Amino acid sequence: MKVLAYVAQKCTGARTCEVTCAQTWFKVQDVSKSSIRISANDGIFAAEFCIQCGKCIEVCPTEALYYNKQGIVLLKKDLCVGCMSCVGFCPYGVMYFAPEEALAFKCVACGQCVKACPSEALKIVELDEASTSVWDFRF
């Protein structure tokens, strides 16, 4: 199972990943449509994105969320009724919502941001190689 991983020490805050993600999946530059979010605190950067933990699958009432064979949590759009249960209950706050189409969205480890990152702060790795230290558990 391969997931997205982030190396904070390498991140320069260029936010290329955010723009690339929004452009890839929504064809817009609006970074509120990005499934990866970079934050900065005193010059130290952090990234938030899905680690494929699957908690959202438990709370989804329509079985729209599921693991694919590669262990990535995906959304079946035709089953999603936009209820935001997954958004509210994501332990890491990394399930997002697009109001205009009433659908949830999330990182599916597609790797487009990895290619775009100018400082090689992002990579696709096996799950056990991914550090979870950047993720802030909400509950």
Partner 1 sequence: MTEKIIRHVLAEFAYQAPKIERGYANQTLYVNVATGEIKAKPVSEEMKFKFTGGKGFDLWLLWNAVNDNTKWNSPENEIVISSGPCGGTTQYPGSGKSLVTTISPTTEVITDSNAGGHFGPLLKFSGWDAIEVQGIAERDVVVIVDAIAGKVTVEELPDAPTDTHLLGAWLYDVLAEKPHEKYYIAMVSAGTGADHSLLGCLNFSLYDRKRQDVRYKQAARGGPGTVLRHKRIKALVVRAKPFRGDANHPADPERIARVGADMQHEVATWDPVQNRMRNRGTPYLVGIMSDYDLLPVNNFKFGSHPKAHDINGAYWETRLTQGLPDGCWYGCTIACAHAVDGFELQTGPYKGQRVIVDGPEYETIGAVGSTCGIFDADAILELNFYCDTYGIDTISYGNTIGFLMECYEAGILDLEKTGGLELTFGNAAASLEILHQVAQGEGLGRLAGLGIRKAKAYLIEHFEADPQFVQDIGMENKGMEYSMYMGKESLAQQGGYALTNKGPQHDEAWLIFMDQVNNQLPTFEDKAEALHYFPMWRTWFGLCGFCKLPWNDVVDPKNSKSAEPAKIPHHVQNYVDIFAAVTGREIDINDIIAMSERVYNLQRVFNIRLGKGLREHDYPPYRGVGPVTEEEYESRQERYDKQLREWLGLDPDAMTLQEKMAAHRKYRTERYEHLMDAVYERRGWTRNGVPTVEKLKALGIGFPEVLAVVEKHLQVEG
Instruction: Give the Cα separation of 109 and 107 in Å (integer).
Output: 6
| Whether 109 contacts 68, CB under 8 Å | no
Question: How many Å separate Cα 131 from the centre of its chain?
Answer: 15
Question: Angle 122-59-134 (CA atoms, 0-180°, nearest 5)?
Answer: 25
Both tokens of residue 133? 């230290």
Beta carbon of residue 80, minimum distance to partner 1 (angstroms, whole number): 7
User: Which part of the chain contacts partner 1 (CB under 8 A), choosing from 11-19, 39-47, 77-85, 128-136?
Assistant: 77-85
26 touching partner 1, by CB under 8 A? no
Nearest to 94 by CA among 27, 30, 39, 19: 39
Among 100, 128, 133, 137, binds partner 1 (CB under 8 A): 100
User: Which part of the chain contacts partner 1 (CB under 8 A), choosing from 16-24, 43-51, 100-108, 124-132?
Assistant: 100-108
Among 24, 46, 89, 112, binds partner 1 (CB under 8 A): 89
Binding residues among 31-60 for partner 1 as defined by CB under 8 A = 58-60
Which residues here bind partner 1, judged by CB under 8 A? Answer: 58-63, 78, 80-85, 87-89, 97, 99-103, 138-139
